[in-house]
Amino acid sequence: MNKLIVIEKPHKWQLDIPNVDVIAAQDYLSESAGQFGKNTKVINLCKSYQYQSVGYYVSLLAEARGHKVLPEVATIQDFRFPSMIKDDAQDFDAIIQKCLGSSSEAKLEFKIYFGYTDELALSSLGMLLFNLFQSPILKAVFVKREKWVLENLRPMNIYDLTGEERQKLQSFLGLFLSNKKVVRKNHQRRRFDLAILVNPDDPNPPSNAKALQKFVKAAEEVGFNTEIITKNDYGKINQFDALFIRETTNVNNHTFRIAKKAQSEGLVVIDDPVSIMRCTNKVYLNELMRNHGINTPKAAIISKENPMAAIEKIGFPFILKEPDGAFSKGVKKVQNEEEFNELLKGFFKGSELLIAQEFMPTDFDWRVGIFNGEPLYVCKYFMARNHWQIIEWKKSGKAQEGKAETYPVEEVPKALIATATKATKLIGNGLYGVDIKEVNKKFYVIEVNDNPNLDAGIEDKVLKNTLYETIMETLMERVKIKQ
């Protein structure tokens, strides 16, 4: 890969890093920059990233040329919204408190150079902030109130630094550009590294502990060094070659940001951010399935301006859903208009649009697991006892689940597999679980889930260890293709 540092006056800064070219911004902006080809990494050290500045255009044209640039235009735009930056940082509150908790100061300011900081105690926090908002030089300001909070995070440039700080910048830039070699020095046993993202506090995770153990074993057998990570390991993502997410995903939390970060770093990612975005929104899924002629229950999109659309189109009873609910949460059966109006008060707090679906009572739902475009497993998930859903959530927060049965793919109706496969082709080539109702021998797609359940003793009951091996073998194949 070609590596370029782009700056206004290269001769002024005497940046000397092995195997890295330093060129003037105007030279990069000229058409002759096409000589570097697409396999090029660009470090944009221009004086300003303001809209339509030279630095802005360096990043903009780098993306147009297919170059991997730092900072990206999207990151430049992020800094226009300080409140959004603070909100994103709150998702990683635990690591912030851990890094700063021992400080007796009321306010802390420090600089971050390509994820590196002067103080060892701040290293993980520096890498976290850099990976959230990738800009060459950042200045972070934290203040202590009831707890430590991010007050300000802004990009700086080489012109803001002292001579000593510029030496640090050059040293840390060299480390950053050779990062893969540095972080792998203790992992010579296998060639590639896999991270499996989990949430240890999730009461209903997509994979139980035994399944995770089987994934780790299968990954190591195909040649991965494997590490179980959590959201607090965000700063380590660029150390891996692949990311396998075994945590409930959502566009509006860290799982989506970690998936995007991993993908931008060139990792193979399951679930990829596009699949997360498409699958976690039921409004989108309903429109997608309907427009491609896939059987679904009758449905209506409900807005604040037209809340009666569901009643007019479907009639009572119907199912009311929050667009991004998971594991049967945010899903209610509506029996009458009074109940409907009461539910809307809470549902509209989280979304401008809701989805209503025809109520189709069945004893079970089919779940077809599709991976890489091929059927992997088939289950029947039966309704929880005396309930209309697979999972009944009690007021205590505990879940009561129905039983499950698993079948060989070749023994279930071909139309079921065809329906599931057709639905997932509209999403991508990742790992999906398609929920399907069977009524009068017709199959109706309820939803397509990214990050489907893969639990030892249930989904693997037919394939046994082959289920885990199949997924890991495909991940390895994709990693090798990227090399």
Q: How confident is the model at residue 309 (pLDDT cuts 50, 70, 90)?
A: confident
208: its two tokens: 């139980």
Question: Pick from 162, 183, 43, 42: which is nearest to 111 by CA?
Answer: 162
Rg (CA), the chain: 25
Beta bridge partners of 7: 24
The CATH number for 192-273, chosen from 3.40.50.2300, 3.40.50.20, 3.40.50.280, 3.30.70.20, is 3.40.50.20
Architecture of the domain spanning 362-482:
2-Layer Sandwich (3.30)
328: helix, coil or strand? coil
CA dist 393 and 446 (Å) reads 20
List of residues 6+ apart from 110 with CB closer than 8 A: 117, 118, 119, 122, 126, 139, 140
285: helix, coil or strand? helix
CA distances from 325 to 288, 350, 406, 454, 473 (A): 18, 11, 25, 19, 31
Question: Pick from 350, 344, 361, 351: which is nearest to 310 by CA?
Answer: 344
Domain boundaries, the chain: 2-77, 79-177, 192-273, 298-358, 362-482
CA dist 267 and 242 (Å) reads 5
Mean pLDDT over 120-148 rounds to: 89
* CA angle at 275 for the pair 248 and 474, rounded to the nearest 5°: 90
* Top mean-pLDDT range of 265-269, 394-398, 468-472: 468-472
Architecture of the domain spanning 2-77:
3-Layer(aba) Sandwich (3.40)
- Estimate the share of the chain in helix, then strand, then coil, as percent rounded to the nearest 5: 40, 25, 35
What integer pLDDT is reported at residue 141 of this predicted model? 95
Question: Pick from 334, 358, 340: which is nearest to 286 by CA?
Answer: 358
CA dist 45 and 451 (Å) reads 39
Which of 32-45 are b and which e, b meaning 16 or more Cβ less than 10 Å from the residue's Cβ? ebeebeeebbbbbb
In tens, the pLDDT along 383-393 reads 887 777 777 66
418: helix, coil or strand? helix
List of residues 6+ apart from 473 with CB closer than 8 A: 222
247: its two tokens: 């945590």
Mean pLDDT over 167-180 rounds to: 80
* Superfamily name and number for 298-358: ATP-grasp fold, A domain (3.30.1490.20)
Residue 328 has pLDDT above 60, yes or no: no
Q: How confident is the model at residue 229 (pLDDT cuts 50, 70, 90)?
A: very high
CA distances from 393 to 156, 397, 415, 452 (A): 49, 6, 32, 19
In tens, the pLDDT along 417-453 reads 999 999 999 999 999 999 999 999 999 999 999 999 9
Mean pLDDT over 273-281 rounds to: 91
445: its two tokens: 């797609």
DSSP-derived secondary structure for 206-254: SS-HHHHHHHHHHHHHHTEEEEEE-GGGGGGGGG-SEEEE-S---TTSH
Phi-psi region of 327 (alpha: psi -120 to 50; beta: other; left: phi over 0): left
Q: Evaluate whether the domain defined by 79-177 bears CATH number 3.30.70.
A: no
In tens, the pLDDT along 3-46 reads 899 999 888 887 888 888 899 998 888 866 557 777 888 999 99
What integer pLDDT is reported at residue 34 of this predicted model? 59
Question: Pick from 214, 218, 222: which is nearest to 192 by CA?
Answer: 222
What integer pLDDT is reported at residue 396 of this predicted model? 59
Residue 361 has pLDDT above 80, yes or no: yes
- Pairing between β-strand 404-407 and β-strand 374-382 as defined by DSSP bridges: antiparallel
CA dist 462 and 299 (Å) reads 34
Please determine whether the domains at 79-177 and 362-482 fall in the same fold group of CATH: yes
Prior bond of 271 cis (ω within 30°): yes
